[in-house]
Chain A
Amino acid sequence: MSMNKIAYSMFIAFVASLGTLVSIQALSSSERDAADDDALDPITPEALAEHDGAESCWKAIDGRVYDITDYLPHHPTPEAVILEWCGKEASEAWHNKRPGVPHSPRAEGMLESYLIGRLVDEAGEPVEPEAAARIDESTDEAGNGEAADATARLSPAEDERLHRALLGLPLDGRYRGVFGDGGEMQVNVQFDLRDGVLSNVSYRHLAYRGVDYRALDEEDDLYPVWVQHQRLAEGLEGQPLTAIFALHEPERLAEDIDGYSGATLRGNKVHSAFRDALNRGVYSWP
């Protein structure tokens, strides 16, 4: 094939690819932005202000809150520049990367993957209570009543976009995290993350009201609860990190949920321990 033909073919292929991309975008649903706002966690300025350092850096930009902790090492400017805005309303810095120069649309795309919520006023009242309630319901460990509405809405356990928004892009490594309540550590998990996939999921601790579930005998009444927790861990093995949201609906991961649902340990707690592990960051590097 001559140079001329290659150049012409590439030109046509290029224009056709752009045309395809633009037309697919134009033809797909455009209601997502509104839906996005509905699904976001409300975050008060006080909560925002707590995350003001390299170990946890949240920023409010145009009314939305982003947890950019994991991105900090990748940002091209010196860290001090970007840390200065942690825990603050940072719209101005965002829109003036250099004076008068905003961040690129590409950077905007990346920012969206770190979205964790929307900024609400001092009173803590979410702008749209329904949306907030929906999130609360799915993350509240006592939220048993969600089944009624489950068919009407996309289950939080299936909402991949929500998962991604909430998790950002954690680094590869070994993680450890805990869930504690009432002065007692109840769950301590350990897992490895490789390319966003979970492996070696295990419990370093599992207890409720002084009962160490890992030490139970097979005859023990509560032993099935330990088995089911192990199934949860097995069910997550090899899954993408976002699968931890399935812990809110543990029947997705473990069978024989009847005995389980009556127990005092819940998937929600395990989920919470996972989130704690992610918040703490990498425990040991791969």
Chain B
Amino acid sequence: MRRWPRPGDTALVVLLLLPLAVALPRLGGLAGPPELWLTWVGRVTGILGLALMLLAGAVSCRVPGLDRPFGGLARLWRLHHGLGFAAFILVMLHALALGLAAVPASLDAAVATLFPPLSHGAVWLGWLAWAALVVFLAPTFDFFGQPHYQRWKRLHLVSAAALLLGLWHALLLAGEAWPWWLLGLAGLGAIAWRKGVAPRRRHAYRIEAVEPLARGVVELVLRPEGSGIRHEAGQFVYLSPLDESLANGRGEEHPYTIASAPSDGRLRIGIKDLGDASHALQTVAPESRVLIEGPHGEFFGRRFPERDMLWLGGGIGITPFVGGARDLATGAGPGGHVHLFYLAHDESRAYYGQDLEAIAERHAGFTFTTHFYRDLGPLTETFLREHCPDFTEREIYLCGPPAMNAHLQRLLAGQGVPASRIHSEVFDFL
């Protein structure tokens, strides 16, 4: 199955190159003496850098559904991260190249180019934009140690200032303004949506039950107050608990995978105690309210109906498969056969195990196998082949802790399974 180019990626590349394409005829060529080609490099990196910045902002909008042309929100976040990184590097090359381009004229001209009198406000707007970039990217790229997640998130809002200043800088200096208005609107509009509109469009739910599954793992059963969300199996939502008695994370949003079937009138979410917020949620008060934003992701989005499926879930990574299995149980879901391997430490950690077994008993198209690390060690090719002889021919879905994912990717690659047939959605940094 081909994964490239995705429509979202194509759109991004087009938008990224648009300001450059418009400006390029005016920029001359990459030839001639150093002052000329350095100027060219300086301008091109500046144009690309700002376009990357604005697009990084644009893809952070997290509008439900908009992540799918990019292969899911997890991948979109990685794109966002990469775009921001490239922007940061290019913006610095931009300043350096333009400064160096003036060195052949004189050292004074070089310094005056970079640090002109204050009356040349456009250049100083550029510096302010860079300073704002440093403020919110320093913690992102871990310059001086990693701050607390919520603090990092608040600091990341400085990006709006960086975008605004960068845009202003460009509008004063650019020949053609319209591409910048377009990208600026996309970037700043996305932030305005994210911080202004989206929070008000979240769906209110009440916690009907908090069902303990194992030590440190609960399933929240949520009843919609209004219309609720419509989702597919394997998708995830951002959940913000409003319970006032919560020790941590009240009002904070965190991503959790949906474990219920799309046709279920309740939204079920498996939550493992992995941090302050998810720890507090283990004892969240029933009948308190939560806000749900989503759904996002497309874990099962790359369906390939003619091929049977192999699902490999471990730890709390079993949740998308629970959603998928519950979907199968209702008679929906893919047509082919599904074989789910649950990789757990031991039986006590195989939460949802009984539910899954029950579904397997009722449903001929679904086979369920547990694999306990305590008894068998890491999953081997032999074990897989013994229980699922045609596993290399299947469409394979992975979800679990990073070490498990890495082990399985190696194992499958060793069996000649092409990477394009292995699907996983890691959102450990969302």
Main secondary structure of the interface of B (DSSP, over half): helix
Query: In the complex, what residue of chain A is closest to B173 when comparing beta carbons?
Result: A104
Residue A183, interface by CB 8 Å: no
| B37 CB–A CB distance under 8 Å | no
Chain A nearest CB from B177 CB (Å) reads 13
Q: How far is the CB of B96 from chain A (nearest CB, A)?
A: 6
Contact partner of A22 (CB less than 8 A), chosen from B88, B102, B115, B138, is B115
Chain B min CB distance to A257 (Å): 34
Q: How far is the CB of A67 from the nearest CB of chain B, in Å?
A: 16
Contact A102–B113 (Cβ < 8 Å) = no
Instruction: Across the interface, name the chain A residue whose C-beta is closest to B82.
Output: A3
- Quote the shortest CB–CB distance from B420 to chain A (angstroms): 24
Q: Is the CB of A18 within 8 A of B114?
A: yes
Asked if B98 contacts A106 (CB within 8 A), the reply is yes
From A5-13, A45-53, A263-271, A274-282, the one touching the partner chain is A5-13
A196 to B141, CA, bound (A): 46
Task: Verify A8–B102 contact, CB threshold 8 A.
Answer: no
Q: In the complex where A11-B143, A14-B92, A76-B26 touch, is A109 in contact with B113 (Cβ < 8 A)?
A: yes
Knowing A109-B106, A112-B105 are in contact, say whether A8-B143 is a contact too (CB < 8 A): yes
Q: Main SS of chain A's interface residues?
A: helix
**Which A residue's beta carbon lies closest to that of B116?**
A105
Residues of A within 8 A of B108 (CB): 25, 32
Answer whether residue B331 sits at the interface, using C-beta atoms and an 8 A cutoff.
Answer: no
Q: Give complex CA distance A6, B141 in Å.
A: 9
CB-contacts of B61-86 with A (<8 A) = 81-82, 85
Question: Which residues of chain A come closer than 8 Å to B92, judged between CB atoms?
Answer: 10-11, 14
Mask of B100-125 contacts with A, CB within 8 angstroms, 1/0:
01100111111111111101100100
Task: State whether A25 touches B107 (Cβ < 8 A).
Answer: yes
Q: What string of 1s and 0s marks CB contacts (under 8 Å) between B15-37 and chain A?
A: 00000000000100000010000
Mark each residue of chain A from 20 to 32: 1 if its CB lies under 8 Å from any CB of chain B, else 0. Answer: 0110110010001
Contacts of A102 on B, CB cut-off 8 Å? 119-120
Query: Which A residues are in CB contact (< 8 Å) with B95?
Result: 14, 18
Shortest Cβ distance from B82 into chain A, in angstroms?
A: 8
B137 within 8 A of A: yes
Contact partner of A104 (CB less than 8 A), chosen from B26, B96, B120, B142, is: B120
Given the contacts A17-B96, A76-B175, A4 and B141 also touching, CB distance less than 8 Å: yes
**Once the chains bind, are A25 and B111 in contact (CB under 8 Å)?**
yes
Q: Report the interface size for chain A: residues with CB under 8 A from the other chain.
A: 28
Q: Check if B134 is an interface residue, CB within 8 A of chain A.
A: yes
Q: Inside 8 A of A76's CB, which chain B residues have their CB?
A: 26, 175
> Any chain A CB within 8 A of the CB of B297?
no
The yes or no answer to A160 lying at the interface (CB within 8 A) is no
Residues of chain A in range 175-191 having any CB-CB distance to chain B below 8 Å: none
Q: How far is the CA of A109 from the CA of B120 in the complex (A)?
A: 15
Q: How far, in whole Å, are A117 and B81 apart by their CA atoms in the complex?
A: 54
Question: Which residues of B are found within 8 Å of A24, using beta-carbon distances?
Answer: 107
Residue of A nearest to B81 (CB): A3
Is there a chain B Cβ closer than 8 Å to A138's Cβ?
Answer: no
> Is A4 within 8 A of B109, CB to CB?
no
The answer on a CB contact under 8 Å between A3 and B107 is no
Which residues of B lie under 8 Å from residue A11 when comparing CB positions? 88, 92, 134, 138, 143
Contact of A4 among B101, B116, B142 (CB under 8 A): B142
- Residues of A within 8 Å of B110, CB to CB, are 21, 25, 109
Q: Are B109 and A106 in contact (CB under 8 A)?
A: yes
Task: Say yes or no: is A108 at the interface (Cβ < 8 Å to chain B).
Answer: yes
Smallest beta-carbon distance B46→chain A, Å:
13
B113 partner residues in chain A, CB cutoff 8 A: 104-106, 109
B-side interface size class? 35 or more
The answer to whether the Cβ of B14 comes within 8 Å of any Cβ in the partner chain is no
A112 and B109 in contact (CB under 8 A), knowing A8-B141, A18-B99? Answer: yes
Q: Of all chain B residues, which has the CB nearest A106?
A: B113
The chain B residue with its CB closest to the CB of A111 is B105
* Residue among B81, B108, B134, B142 with most chain A CB within 10 A: B108
Q: How far is the CB of B147 from chain A (nearest CB, A)?
A: 14
**B89 on the interface (CB 8 Å rule)?**
yes
Query: In whole angstroms, how far apart are the Cα atoms of A113 and B106 in the complex?
Result: 10
With a cutoff of 8 Å between Cβ atoms, the chain A residues found around residue B112 in the complex are: 105, 108-109
Interface contact B137-A7, CB-CB below 8 Å: yes
**A70 → chain B closest CB, angstroms:** 14
Bound form: Cα–Cα A112–B107 in Å: 13
Q: B89's contact among A6, A17, A32, A112, by CB below 8 Å, is which?
A: A6
Residues of the B chain whose Cβ atoms lie less than 8 Å from the Cβ of A125? none
Set of chain B residues within 8 Å of A28, measured between Cβ atoms: 107
Q: Choose among A7, A18, A109, A110 the residue that contacts B88 (Cβ–Cβ < 8 A).
A: A7
Task: State in angstroms the CA–CA spacing of A24 and B100 once bound together.
Answer: 13
A13 — nearest CB in chain B belongs to which residue? B92
Q: Are A109 and B96 in contact (CB under 8 A)?
A: no
CA distance A23 to B41 in the complex (A): 24
Provide the bound-state CA to CA distance between A8 and B143, in Å.
Answer: 6
Whether B105 contacts A113 by the Cβ 8 Å rule is yes
Bound CA span A195–B39, Å: 18
* A221 to B368 CA separation, bound complex (whole angstroms): 112
Contact of A106 among B81, B102, B142 (CB under 8 A): B102
Q: How far is the CB of A255 from chain B (nearest CB, A)?
A: 33
Closest to B141 in A: A7
Contact residue among A14, A108, A195, A196 (Cβ-Cβ distance under 8 Å from B109) = A108
**Closest chain B CB from A6 CB (angstroms):** 7
Give B84's nearest chain A residue, CB to CB: A7
* Distance in Å: Cβ of A228 to nearest Cβ of chain B: 33
Which of A10, A11, A24, A195 gathers most chain B CB within 10 Å? A11
Pairwise interchain contact B99-A21, C-beta atoms closer than 8 A: yes
Contact sample, A vs B, 7 pairs, CB 8 Å cutoff: A4-B141, A7-B143, A10-B88, A28-B107, A104-B120, A105-B116, A109-B110
A: residues with CB less than 8 A from B are 3-4, 6-8, 10-11, 14, 17-18, 21-22, 24-25, 28, 32, 76, 102, 104-106, 108-110, 112-113, 195-196
The 3 residue pairs across chains A and B that have the minimum distance between CB atoms:
A109-B109, A109-B105, A105-B112
